[in-house]
Amino acid sequence: MELQEYSNDNRLMIFSWLILATTLLLPGNAFSQEENKTMPDTSVTEKPIPADEELPEPEKKDPWNVFDFGFTTMRLGGGYILDYVTYLQDDKGKIQSDSLNIDLKPTFATRDFRFLVNGYFKTKMPIQWKLAIMFDGDNREWLVRETGLVFTLKKINSQVFVGRTKEGFSMPKIMNGHSPWTMERQMAIDLIPIMADGIRVYTYLPKSRVFWTLAAFNDVLSHEQIFSTFKEQYLVRLGWMPFYNKESNRLLHIAGYYRYGKTENENFRVRSRPESNPTPYFIDTETFPADHSVTYGGEIYFNSGSLQLGAEYYIHNFYSDIGDDHTFPGGDISLSYIFTGESRPYNTTGNIYGFVPVKKPLGKDGFGAWEGVLRFSTFDLDDGTIHGGSMWRITPMVNWYMNKIIRMEFVYGYSVLDRFGIKGGTHFFQSRIQFTIG
């Protein structure tokens, strides 16, 4: 870990704890015994309380990882992901690998290892605090992850996150990294940083079923860290649900995005792995002049019980005063079906999907939950003077949720890379075991 990165992470942690200490001095009585009945859920799984519902009754007996210190609750959580991948390439794919100077070998690799702590202050206004640290297996360093304060503004059906969090771009990228239906997110959103420092406001209006996210970030605390590729970012997500039935989990979710990003040092680099984290980058623009970027795009998701259909498409535009402008489009379409009858819940605070519940865990009169997924994705990094390559991949896979903690994934993927004047094919054989405690 570089000294600068270590210093920035420590400054963020100190800043977060200063915010927490200041919050304790906010006016307002602590919850009375009656008010405790509406204390929010203390889950660390990024599963927010729906804004159009009453807050749930507290559990009669707290789980082993939940503690009550009087002025605040605290919940401990964590996770670990281990990946495996091996390959089979055709002759043209092997030529491309030689040109990229990569050697595709069977690989076991730690994806990430994370610790999470959060809780609620017992104030009139629900205030959640979050603190997280993660070991990034790809770069082999520890990083501060989602850390800050979440203020719930019930009267305007909103929540405000202040600190380090996700930008709010793309459904699978907003979701907890352990919860999406696919092993990896689509290639076309790899250039969006996974974390940023700033403020994010998300609102849901239950009567009209309209929702939006407004966010602004900068790199004052995260400058030169691996995930900080923009100096500042601004985001608008605007969406609507034409229909939503929570009981049957039947819904249609439609959202559009506008994102502005100011680049570091007036240059940028777009690259993406082929939806396999242990695999080297297949498409890569190398560094090119770019003062700022503007992204337009949208997402649509339909649910009916155990069935889920979804699609996302984005156009990333980069602009420069000293070089050419460039456009890089990409997106995906996916289908998911849970054969054992469960359905992936939808949360109207944040307007995202949550974790799949397991009705009959393995060893308790059941075999867990089983989900089949099919996804097609594409990303094009060829534009004008830039020849970063274009790629598409089709991925059938099976998820096995043994219980609420353990998930296994069995994945086959086939991709075609168009680069260096040839089109080469690669078969991916992947698996993952994932542990999530929250």
Instruction: Point out which residues pair with 320 in neighbouring strands.
Output: none
Q: Which residues contact 435 (CB under 8 A, 6 or more apart)?
A: 79, 80, 81, 405, 406
DSSP symbols for 327-352: EEEEEEEEEEEETTS----EETTTTE
CA distance linking residue 297 with residue 334, whole number of Å = 17
Two tokens, residue 123: 């104030």
State the total domains in the chain: 1
Residue among 342, 348, 334 at smallest CA distance from 397: 334
Domain with 74, as residue range(s), is 3-437
Task: State the pLDDT at residue 228.
Answer: 82
Amino acid type, 159: Q
Amino acid type, 220: V
Q: What is the dihedral of CA 268, 274, 277, 279, to 10 degrees?
A: -100
Q: Mean pLDDT, consecutive 10-residue segments, the chain of 438 residues?
A: 38 40 36 32 38 40 87 96 98 97 96 94 94 87 93 94 96 95 97 94 97 96 82 97 96 98 94 96 97 98 98 98 96 98 95 96 92 98 97 98 97 98 98 95
Total length of the chain: 438
Task: State the pLDDT at residue 138.
Answer: 78
Residue entry with tokens 């605090």: 129
Task: State the pLDDT at residue 61.
Answer: 63
Amino acid type, 394: I
What is the pTM for the complete model shown? 0.85
DSSP symbols for 384-434: TTEEEEEEEEEEEEEEEE-SSSEEEEEEEEEEEEEETTEEEEEEEEEEEEE
* CATH number for position 298: 2.40.160.10
Other Cβ atoms within 10 Å of 322 Cβ, number: 9
Task: State the pLDDT at residue 35.
Answer: 29
Is 391 exposed, middle or buried (CB count within 10 Å of its CB: 0-12, 13-18, 19+)? buried
Q: Three-class SS of residue 241?
A: strand
